[in-house]
Structure 1
Amino acid sequence: MEVSRIKYEQKNARTVDEDRISKLSDDLIHQILSYLDARLAVQTSVLSKRWKLVWTTLPFLNFNEYNFVYCKFMIHVFTRRDHISGILKLHLFRTNVWLFQKYINYAVSHDVQHLTVESDHHCSLSSFNSKTLKELKLTMPFESEDVTKGDCWSLPNLTTLHLKRSAYRFNYKLKVHESCLNLPALTTLDLTYCELPESFSLPMLTTLCLQWCTLPQKVWDLPALRTLQLVDMVFPEDMSDYFLALTSLRTLVIDFALQYVRPLVISSSHLVNLKIKVSISSVYILEHKIVVLAPKLCNFEAIGFFRMVYGGSELENAIIKFWDRPLSSTTLRHYQDMIETMFSQLGSTKILSLDLVTIQVLSQNPDIVAHWHCPFYNLKYLKLPRGCEESSVSSAVRNYLLGGSPCASIVKPMPQVFYFTLY
């Protein structure tokens, strides 16, 4: 009996000590190493004979550093890897100027599908010509504002493009010419600090993100676009036709990150999700209104203060967040007025989610809130933020938020939910 027990324990010990990872196929090990920087991936070669050459066929190369020693390491990798093996994904974070073009050419010649380049050096767009490339994320200084003129690429299978000027060259915007957007398979486009061409057509595009860009005067031709994000944009005088032209638009995010709110009409027949963010704290932003005409809008999120006129159907969800900043006596009344003004436009909301600052602003002066008329006639649930218990909500605030919907209930404190995502 004792002998049997000892053999059983020895068998279990061997099972525990067994190296199961090393028994995996190279493809599975490659997938695991794809989450590591290239330096760590290569260092696995010292683990055992099984791992000695695994990195040489690794199709995922992430070079996330740049210094003299790391540059020598990159040379070692590109020299010693198995040149028959293709490269599925390559991330280059800066590199020596004379090696930069060489590495791009190497990746293209090895059928790269996902290429991310963050460089201090400029190279021609035609360097990226490839029939296999599906995703290209390119951050470069670009030598002049007209660098893309006469310089275009051939990327018939590219579905995702991120184009960004290096931060230290933000003194002018990159003019993106129409020829650069001649990408028949493109579905996702992300442009930062660019000036768009007067007209361009991307029939397959479904997601567009524009940051610090100048829009053209002509309305875009994007029949399949479903998601649009605009961050600190230079808008034309009249934007109403722009949104109306996007017949497939379902999600819109507008972020006034460093700018004041300007008059804006959001008119969209099929818009379902809308998020508006205002970061600048100033009374001047209240001079202009954002008019929302969206008969199918379901989910609305507001961050910051702005005046809004809403003309649409019943809202399923409304999330209201204000700046998490100290409240002073001079701004408190102003903030309370802004809450009352915005809430008056959201009476059809079924589920209302508030942040802690909004609750605090409402609770600071209950005598004033007690005289406000409850705008919410269709409310089903009031979601409080984490850190706010139902018992801490004063009767005046409770009556203001729930008085128009006797059957509405308060949901226990929970993290606020973002009801739609950009990607």
Structure 2
Amino acid sequence: MKYAVRTSSLSHKWEHVWTALPHLNFNCSAFRSKSIFSEFVNDTLSHRNNDIKLTGIELTFKGAATASSVIKKSVNYAYMHNVTKLSVKWVTKKYIQFPQELFSSHTLKHFTLATNVQSYLLCKTSCVPKLAWDFPVLETLILKNIRLGDEGDESLDLFSKCVNLKDLTLHQCCMKGLNILNIYASQLSDLTITQSLSLPNVFDVIAPQLKNVTASVKGTIDRFPVSFDTLRLATEGFDHLAEVNLSLLKPHYNRERFVPVLLDLFQTFRNAKTLIIDTAIIETLSLSPNRLSERSPFNELNSLRINMAPLNQKEYIASMLTQVISNYLLENSPDVTFIMDLPQDQLKRSRDRVDMETMANKVPKLKAEKDNKHLMPKGRCPHPEAMPT
């Protein structure tokens, strides 16, 4: 926005161009001081041509007091002019709390809220209102580095008034000490919960239209010394799942404790058509083969993809795949397409290290494709005992 104003000063023909921009981007890093930035925002909003439809505003602030006042003015202006897209990022080293005015709009469709607050500050108290947010037409909500709820809260219901919400992302959020986070969204199709600093005891999810889930199974910060954070879902069922993508940040100790967590998640996501997991999940499951004796919950799986990025040279991935995939994950999915994604620098090493003939005793051969993927063509997955020795 600052450079748009500068450009307007180059010619009389452009003099009022900056007043007619449909999208405003205010970034405090382009100004020498917060007071100059605040003055610039006020001047821009007061001189803008209100006959031109305002579609979106991006706000990036530093500090606390100045940012709070600027946010209120900018947001009030945006909502008054029926903005549909809003992005707010608060850059500060101090504890912050977003103003109540930010969480009510009947025209907003896409909302991103982010901070860069360090984890020890996020774990204090909620930086957003704990009442249901009033966004009746909101479709996309992205929360990054946000503290949700306070320690000791029994439940938190933020999204029940977002009746048109279709895409929800919680990235690097902190929910330490919260018992239940309710996600009630009848139109929700995409849910992302990744790299959470701390997870609630339970996500209570009612989303009958949910199609795609991307989630980290473990929180990034263990509750020292004995407790830990894991992804737990309470749900009435997901009947329309298309793709589930799960990752597990490798635990430093007692990895076996995540096996029942993973099995519960597999049961929850049993209707998925595509399952994506990483090698940390494969490793963890292989530590407790006796827990995999129960029948696989996946009856509709069409594709299984394994992200090989965390692969270590010393790991025997072939034997782990043999046990976990053939005996459990693929048991009820004879026509599954199996894909292993390899990073470029590990492709040649993987070709050299994985003994394909050994793996063929349990699973179909994998062939290396030019796009750095190992594919198993569609076809019946032979039972290990039915294959020739």
Instruction: Provide TM-score, normalisation by structure 1.
Output: 0.56
Structure 2 counterparts to residues 134-145 of structure 1, below 5 A: 134-140=55-61, 141-143=63-65
1:191–1:176: structure 2 CA closer, same or farther, 3 Å change rule? farther
CA distance in 2, matches of 1:336, 1:182: 41
Q: Secondary structure at the match of 1:358?
A: helix
Preserved CA contact (<8 Å) 1:85 1:110: no
Residue 163 of structure 2 corresponds to residue 223 of structure 1: yes
Give the C-alpha shift of residue 251 in structure 1: 2.3
Q: 1:100 aligns with which of 37, 47, 71?
A: 37
Give the C-alpha shift of residue 218 in structure 1: 7.7
CA distance in 1, matches of 2:169, 2:193: 6
Name the count of aligned residue pairs.
Answer: 303
Quote the residue 1:153 is aligned against.
76
- Return the letter of the residue paired with 1:221: K
1:104–1:393: structure 2 CA closer, same or farther, 3 Å change rule? same
Runs of 4+ in 1 over 6 A off after TM superposition: 215-219, 387-390
Give the C-alpha shift of residue 381 in structure 1: 3.2
- Return the letter of the residue paired with 1:207: T
Residue 292 of structure 2 corresponds to residue 292 of structure 1: no
Quote the residue 2:93 is aligned against.
168
Residue 339 of structure 2 corresponds to residue 400 of structure 1: no
- Return the letter of the residue paired with 1:135: G
Structure with larger RCO (C-alpha < 8 A, sep 6+): 2
Preserved CA contact (<8 Å) 2:26 2:58: no
CA distance in 2, matches of 1:375, 1:168: 46
Write out per-residue CA displacement over residues 358-378 of structure 1, whole angstroms, 9 at most, x where no aligned residue.
Answer: 233445x58647756544344
Residue 241 of structure 2 corresponds to residue 320 of structure 1: no
1:226–1:372: structure 2 CA closer, same or farther, 3 Å change rule? closer
Give the C-alpha shift of residue 167 in structure 1: 1.8
Give the C-alpha shift of residue 192 in structure 1: 3.6
Percent identity of equivalent pairs: 15
Quote the residue 1:196 is aligned against.
129
- Return the letter of the residue paired with 2:87: H
Residue 15 of structure 2 corresponds to residue 84 of structure 1: yes
1:202–1:394: structure 2 CA closer, same or farther, 3 Å change rule? closer
1:383–1:228: structure 2 CA closer, same or farther, 3 Å change rule? closer
Quote the residue 1:333 is aligned against.
256
Preserved CA contact (<8 Å) 1:271 1:294: no
Give the C-alpha shift of residue 415 in structure 1: 6.5
- Return the letter of the residue paired with 2:17: G
CA distance in 2, matches of 1:136, 1:62: 16
Give the C-alpha shift of residue 202 in structure 1: 3.0
CA distance in 2, matches of 1:270, 1:398: 28
CA distance in 2, matches of 1:224, 1:198: 18
CA distance in 1, matches of 2:103, 2:255: 48
CA distance in 1, matches of 2:335, 2:317: 13
Residue 200 of structure 2 corresponds to residue 267 of structure 1: no
CA distance in 1, matches of 2:200, 2:178: 13
CA distance in 1, matches of 2:322, 2:71: 64
- Return the letter of the residue paired with 1:190: T
CA distance in 1, matches of 2:317, 2:157: 50
Preserved CA contact (<8 Å) 2:84 2:109: yes
1:285–1:367: structure 2 CA closer, same or farther, 3 Å change rule? closer
